[in-house]
Amino acid sequence: QVQLVESGGGVVQPGGSLRLSCAASGLASDYKIIGWFRQAPGKEREGVACIVDADGSAYYSPSVRGRFTISRNNTKNMVTLQMDTLQPEDTAAYYCAVEVSGRPIVAAMHGKYDHWGQGTQVTVDT
């Protein structure tokens, strides 16, 4: 059983911050990559950020680098996405996801994962 439960979405003004959290359990906790992707209405899925389990290295989409920070706890079953200096173009549903089959990082950065949660909405609006 795969479980990924996101929390922390909401509405924020431009320039504001939000922190998303994701709890991974079951088969989802045995991952090779864990990260976040987002999808806005009418747009393609976009990989936002991810962490490689083997060495803990983090990767970011150019659109969020320097504004978002991904991290995980010591037991590797909780991942957070700190989002600062949010802009209207960040508005989307954000999904926590895991890659368990071993596809390369580039797949994750295109939003391609094996499993993902229900998503949480982030809206940046005045």
Q: How distant, in Å, are the alpha carbons of 48, 108, 126 from that of 37?
A: 5, 8, 24
- Of 77, 99, 87, which is closest to residue 21 (Cα–Cα)? 77
Residue 1's pLDDT is what?
80
Residues 50-87 have pLDDT tens digits of 999 999 999 999 999 999 999 999 888 899 999 999 99
For residue 28, what pLDDT band results from cuts at 50, 70 and 90? low
Give me the pLDDT at residue 76, please. Answer: 84
Residues 33-38, mean pLDDT to the nearest whole number: 97
